[in-house]
Amino acid sequence: MKKLILIMAVLAFAAAAYAEQGQVVYREGTQKSFKGPAEYFTGEVTVDMLFPPNETARYSGAYVTFQPGARTNWHWHPAGQHMIVTDGIALTGTRDGKVIEFKEGETVWCPVGVDHWHGATPDAPMTHLVISGSKDGKAVVWKEKVTDEQYMKR
């Protein structure tokens, strides 16, 4: 019983200490916004960070906008990634040659270790919200460019 009381006291103290920190607001324009580097993307891509990972929630969020024909390199996520299309139609492909289209309001989960790419269709821009997990400080492992042939396989 003493052990249970001690555990409850420690949990209450930790909760009170955490509550004192309060909520954190990331105001518009306070996070990084940058062009997707050519070494990881084909075409014009803009990344607008929304929030960084922290010690409790080891994931970050960003809006990523792809101009027509733009796409990522092949890559995978050490802690997975959710992609939610907020505007347009997205494409995502895997090494088995499958390319999936998903539209505004639809979500794709990219499991840990699955090589994939994502981007816009050839004729229209697309924006998606990505929520990327982080493991050992790493959210993505980049690989080679996606060829035009791989991209056009739909």
Task: Tell me what the mean pLDDT of segment 41-45 comes to.
Answer: 98
Helix (H, G, I), strand (E, B) or coil at 126: strand
Q: Tell the burial category of 74 from Cβ atoms under 10 Å away from its Cβ (0-12, 13-18, 19+).
A: buried
Reply yes or no on whether the pLDDT at 63 is more than 60.
Answer: yes
Which CATH number describes the domain made up of 33-149?
2.60.120.10
Q: Using CA atoms in the order 26, 27, 30, 33, what is the torsion angle rounded to 10 degrees?
A: 90
Asked if 103 contacts 123 with a C-beta cutoff of 8 angstroms, the reply is: no
- Residue 5: per-residue pLDDT: 44
